Amino acid sequence: MSDRARIAVCQTEPVLLDLAANVAATAAVVRDCVGRGADVIVLPELATCGYMFETVEEARAAAVGLDHEVFRVWRAALGSGDGVLVAGFAEAGADGRLYNSAVVLDRTGIRTVYRKTHLWHREKRFFTPGDLPPAVVETPHGRIGVLICYDLEFPEMPRTLALAGADLVAAPTNWSRAEIRTGSEPPQILMARAAARASHVYVAACDRRGVERGQEFTGGSVIIDPEGWPLATPTSDHIALADVTLPTARTRTLTPLNDLFTDRRPTLYTL
Amino acid sequence: MSDRARIAVCQTEPVLLDLAANVAATAAVVRDCVGRGADVIVLPELATCGYMFETVEEARAAAVGLDHEVFRVWRAALGSGDGVLVAGFAEAGADGRLYNSAVVLDRTGIRTVYRKTHLWHREKRFFTPGDLPPAVVETPHGRIGVLICYDLEFPEMPRTLALAGADLVAAPTNWSRAEIRTGSEPPQILMARAAARASHVYVAACDRRGVERGQEFTGGSVIIDPEGWPLATPTSDHIALADVTLPTARTRTLTPLNDLFTDRRPTLYTL
């Protein structure tokens, strides 16, 4: 296992319903990140199609099956190295349903697909919630777990990933712009930072930017260390990079007498 | 049920091992808060005795049984109204063990005692961890749940209280001063704010101030609303006050299609 991994989150601005444009743009940014030495690249939720569908027909037209060309294009953009891509897309399930999904992909192809299990607002009109726990994928850089956006508001979700061995929670998001009452930090970042600290895991939240049919997005992408501190946010190129050693997340010793996981008291907790 | 409740957190500076001084000082601050209209008053963890014991003998000398005078004094300080006090103390259990406990007290006497279930560092030398889930007490102001300090670092704990019906998580703490790498917010406040937002509950964290045997405390007391925003921190008198309607926490509608609790997917979560 290599020591340092370069994490890249790419805060793209998807074009609503324009799959071809989004495939081209995301492939370009993935190639760019690979060229800059990125080992783990995260794209936003629904990076292939945008967010603000008005009808089920629009959502269906935007959705792709796992045999779609986009996955071959992304795989090609990763090249022949050890790069891993986590990217959100609208999935046309083999069961005829639509899912708000994220793929984990490397040069060998699709490693896993996670279907968002907590759907936000109008997503419920278009998507079926996933019914499987979030996935953890072993990679040469460390173990990557995947959540999507509103999932992060449920502390049980990053906890479940961390207990399953994730070193990094990769979270494609489309954070609707929310009121900030104190300080400058959007509330979604508060939850992402708390998730990192609660389970001593890295978090790479890849938000989108822009406005779509009147909906403003936060552009709040952030890479967070296992103590909950932000390591990087996007620069003017809308990319955030951080070099980290993901397996260091596994050491959960807080004091000579405290380990964050063995200190847990599951028999006292309510699900 | 009255509408508005005035919450007071009193960031006292306990005198190590001086029970008489601490009883007198805490009774005075409780009377002061009652005079200022407080309905729910929170004191720090181990408010009766301080924190930095060096020996088990010191801890034992500092511990009190539930028949100790301090509870009568606090009850008297509350007067004849509907005031509720949540306060940390070192408990000499009837089983001969010592616990890091918090009492919920009103004019009728002791309503419940919660024994800290996640012990931090050297506390493990002196105290036995509690083996019961955190308690929720029905009061005229709303339902109050109790946690102590390090408990808050485990998101399952405030979640368990909220699922048990708590409107307010009252958290006596002794937050050891921690490094702040970005912004100005101690990491313990991050966790308290995330706990509030994750379960849409009020949080009243009552920290202590001062330095004891070289240990600096954060003085990070804060009252937090159910969206995770700080409502009040201590003023120059070391007291923070906020007027809130606790049962509003029970409405967890986020959008016409989202309820924070019914959106949960417990079958997908790992304990």
Chain B residues closer than 8 Å to A264 by CB? 118, 154, 156
Chain A residues closer than 8 Å to B269 by CB? 133, 154, 156-157, 159-160, 271
Tokens 């269906």 belong to A60
Q: Which of B117, B125, B270 sits opposite A164 (nearest CB)?
A: B270
Q: Which residues contact A185 (CB under 8 A, 6 or more apart)?
A: B183
Q: Give the Å distances, CA to CA, from A184 to B154, B182, B183, B230.
A: 25, 12, 9, 13
Q: pLDDT (tens digit, 9 = 90+) per residue, B62-93?
A: 999 999 999 999 999 999 999 999 999 999 99
- What ipTM was reported for this prediction? 0.97
Per the prediction, chain B carries an average pLDDT of 97
Distance CA B148, CA B46 (A): 10
How much is the average pLDDT of B149-161?
98
Question: Is it the case that residue B46 has pLDDT exceeding 80?
Answer: yes
How much is the average pLDDT of B138-144?
98
Our measurement of the distance from residue B8's CA atom to the centroid of its chain's CA atoms, rounded to an integer in Å, reads 11
DSSP code at position B183: S
Q: Which of A8, A4, A6 is nearest to A233 (CA)?
A: A8
Q: Give kind and range of the element (H or E) at residue B125.
A: helix B123-126
**Residue B156 has what pLDDT?**
98
**Amino acid letter for position A109:** G
Q: The tokens of B244 are what?
A: 């809130």
Half-sphere exposure of B55 (CA within 13 A, CB side): 3
Q: pLDDT (tens digit, 9 = 90+) per residue, B83-125?
A: 999 999 999 999 999 999 999 999 999 999 999 999 999 999 9
**Is B136 in contact with B143 (CB distance < 8 Å)?**
yes
Instruction: Tell me if residue B45 is catalytic.
Output: yes
pLDDT along chain A (271 residues), means of 10: 87 98 98 98 98 97 98 98 98 98 98 98 98 95 98 98 98 95 92 98 98 97 98 98 98 98 97 88
Instruction: Tell me if residue B33 is catalytic.
Output: no
Q: Which of B194, B225, B224, B181 is nearest to B206 (CA)?
A: B224
Distance CA B169, CA B153 (A): 13
Q: How many CB atoms lie within 10 A of CB A67?
A: 9
Q: The tokens of A223 are what?
A: 């890479």
Q: pLDDT (tens digit, 9 = 90+) per residue, A19-48?
A: 999 999 999 999 999 999 999 999 999 999
Label residue A68 left, alpha or beta by phi (over 0 means left) and psi (-120 to 50 means alpha). Answer: beta
Radius of gyration of chain B (CA): 17
Query: Which chain B residue has its CA at the smallest distance from A160's CA?
Result: B270
Instruction: Tell me if residue B116 is catalytic.
Output: yes
In this complex, is the C-beta atom of A200 within 8 Å of any C-beta atom belonging to chain B?
no
Q: What percentage of chain B reaches a pLDDT higher than 70?
A: 99
**Residue A227 has what pLDDT?**
97
**Residue B2 has what pLDDT?**
54
**Is B201 in contact with B235 (CB distance < 8 Å)?**
no
CB atoms B118 and A263 under 8 Å: yes
Q: Which of B156, B185, B268 sits opposite A133 (nearest CB)?
A: B268
How much is the average pLDDT of B205-215?
97
Chain B residues closer than 8 Å to A125 by CB? 257
**Amino acid letter for position B172:** P
Chain A residues closer than 8 Å to B117 by CB? 265, 268
Q: Which residues contact A45 (CB under 8 A, 6 or more apart)?
A: A51, A88, A100, A102, A116, A148, A149, A172, A173, A174, A208
Q: The tokens of B118 are what?
A: 């996640």
Task: At B76, give phi and psi (nearest 5°).
Answer: -65, -40
